[in-house]
Amino acid sequence: MPVYIIEHLEPEIWEWCLMEYENISKIAGRANLWFTNINSQDRNAKKLEKFGKVIHESVATLGLKNACILDPEVPKTLEPEEAKSFDYFIFGGILGDYPPRKRTSPELTSKLKNAQARNIGKKQFSTDNAVLVTKRIIEGTPLKDMHFVENLTIPINEIESIDLPYCYPLVDGKPQISGKLINYLKKKKSF
Ligand SMILES: C[S@@+](CC[C@H](N)C(=O)[O-])C[C@H]1O[C@@H](n2cnc3c(N)ncnc32)[C@H](O)[C@@H]1O
């Protein structure tokens, strides 16, 4: 079983990050999940302990061998055969943005010289969905056999809605998004 590592790269552990990280714990399992680069002074740092192992240092200091970084900007796509051979999969704990600011390469990939880096397509996934897609590849489903929807519209009330301009994997025909996140968006009054 590989370890999934989320290198937190936002200035704080925002509510939105927490909801994604909780979802990643459900997808990967608490025992297989590490959060790195966590500031112990952050008001939400303790909450992460429920979801996985919490490490204050950056993943770049851990000297991991046989690791694969997930980075949308690299040329090679992760394939099932090679995916089985990695011991660690490393993701940027970066919230989605549009247009993408392409932070993963400079803030993560460039810091881990001994790791391989692969994409899971050119579209931008949230970190929790990037973990889900990677897990499915490790389990043997190539990216080309998965189905996705781009741009999700979440109705907030009878008149307003929010567009999420990201790529969502379909499982049993349903786009994957945390139920907690949908409720959070519905309650939030302004953006
Ligand atoms: C919301 S994405 C961050 C994208 C962001 N626009 C950036 O600046 O790189 C969060 C993380 O999910 C993973 N990810 C998302 N889409 C990916 C893709 N198409 N290929 C590889 N990794 C991806 C990466 O590890 C990335 O750091």
- How far apart are alpha carbons 105 and 155 in whole angstroms? 34
pTM beyond 0.95, yes or no:
yes
| Residue that wins the pLDDT comparison between 155 and 129 | 129
Q: How far apart are CA 45 and CA 31, in angstroms?
A: 18
Q: What is the pLDDT of residues 9-43, one digit of tens each?
A: 999 999 999 999 999 999 999 999 999 999 999 99
| Residue 47 neighbours by CB under 8 Å, 6+ apart | 13, 18
Instruction: Write down the domain spans for the chain.
Output: 3-142
Contacts of 131 (CB under 8 A, 6+ apart): 4, 24, 27, 28, 89, 91
Question: pLDDT per residue over 157-182, tens digit each?
Answer: 888 999 999 999 999 999 999 999 99
Three-state SS annotation for 19-56: HHHHHHHHHHCHHHEEEECCCCCCCCCHHHHHCCEECC
- Residue 147 exposure: Cα atoms within 13 Å on the Cβ side: 6
**Which residue owns the Cα nearest ligand 1 atom 1?**
96
CA of 31 to the centre of ligand 1 (A): 23
Task: Output the CA 73–ligand 1 centroid distance in Å.
Answer: 9
CATH number of 3-142: 3.40.1280.30
**Ligand 1 close to Cβ of residue 12 (< 6 A):** no
Segment 74-94, tens digit of pLDDT: 999 999 999 999 999 999 999
| CB 121 less than 6 A from any atom of ligand 1 | yes
